[in-house]
Structure 1
């Protein structure tokens, strides 16, 4: 006796999520969902204790994403936004701001002076005042606990750019290490405002997002 197949029923069965007797998602699906959630930008729990001390300047700067930037760039009010038309100027402000962040959020136990000098050169306005106050609080801790911090910009986007002002969203990777201990890494996101001062951009405002 010949049998017939019902393709639609088989397709529906193939596409249905695998569940256990309680109707909950099967382990493979649950694990996949957890893995996807883990890929979001966040401070890793295991890195918080060391990194929170080493990167306290960054964390205390107050508190989004590139979706926000995309919204701003499609807003009708953004017609005078040079970030949409001037590639050279956009690349220049991204380069200056990325370079500045790499310098002001980096130090070693032997040399916090270079960090402070960089901050005086590269920061202005509210950013400079807030940074100096906060860095003053951790300068001694860096030496006592033998802390080293390095920061790398992994992605930066210009939200708005005029002839002498810019707003950016920046993603950072930070690595903190206490002498004799394993290094810990953490991710951060900043909203940055910058002003053109002569031939380079200086950061005037910083906010953690």
Structure 2
């Protein structure tokens, strides 16, 4: 009788552990590759950092080059947002001789799922306006990126 009870308890315990393991694998955090795929997480963060630095750094004489760079790293809504922004500031950049330098100082991948990623990015920006001097500012963005042709492209940008 005692061996049968022990066997039954072992079977029940095994079923409980199996169920617990299934629950752990089924949670949303287990599906988030940002927590498990360090190589791809590092890659998407680096690609997005470089893209943001390229499109949000410009000189009065280099706006065309900056906009060409934007076309290669932005897509979808982010491309439309960027085009609208540049249309609004183009005259001011030329008239006031504005130079902007942007650098990502901290990036965290919130979610990585296949060919889509969401990131939180902290930027430092330094602007120089003609003879007016230098101003620095910080920015915080939530960025959505999508992998296209083995390159991460930014498809949405939201300020926080």
TM-score range, shorter chain: 0.7 to 0.9
Count residues in correspondence. 134
The 5-angstrom pairing of residues 26-41 of structure 1 reads none
Consecutive unaligned residues of structure 1, counting only runs of 5 or more, are 1-75
More strand by share: 2
CA distance in 2, matches of 1:141, 1:155: 29
TM-score (norm 2): 0.82
**What is the root-mean-square deviation of aligned Cα atoms in Å?**
0.8
CA distance in 2, matches of 1:82, 1:168: 13
Residue of structure 2 aligned with 1:82, choices 21, 29, 33: 33
1:202 aligns with 2:158: no
Between the two structures, name the one with larger relative contact order (CA 8 Å, sep ≥ 6).
1
CA positional deviation for 1:133: 1.4
1:99 aligns with 2:50: yes
Residue of structure 2 aligned with 1:108, choices 59, 63, 79: 59
Residues 23-76 of structure 1 deviation map (CA, whole Å, 9 limit, x = unaligned): xxxxxxxxxxxxxxxxxxxxxxxxxxxxxxxxxxxxxxxxxxxxxxxxxxxxx4
* Secondary structure of 2:89 counterpart: helix
CA positional deviation for 1:181: 2.1
Consecutive unaligned residues of structure 2, counting only runs of 5 or more, are 1-26
Residues 74-126 of structure 1 deviation map (CA, whole Å, 9 limit, x = unaligned): xx422111111111000000000000000000110111001111111100011
CA distance in 2, matches of 1:109, 1:135: 12
Q: Which runs of 4+ in 1 moved over 2 A?
A: none
1:154 aligns with 2:70: no
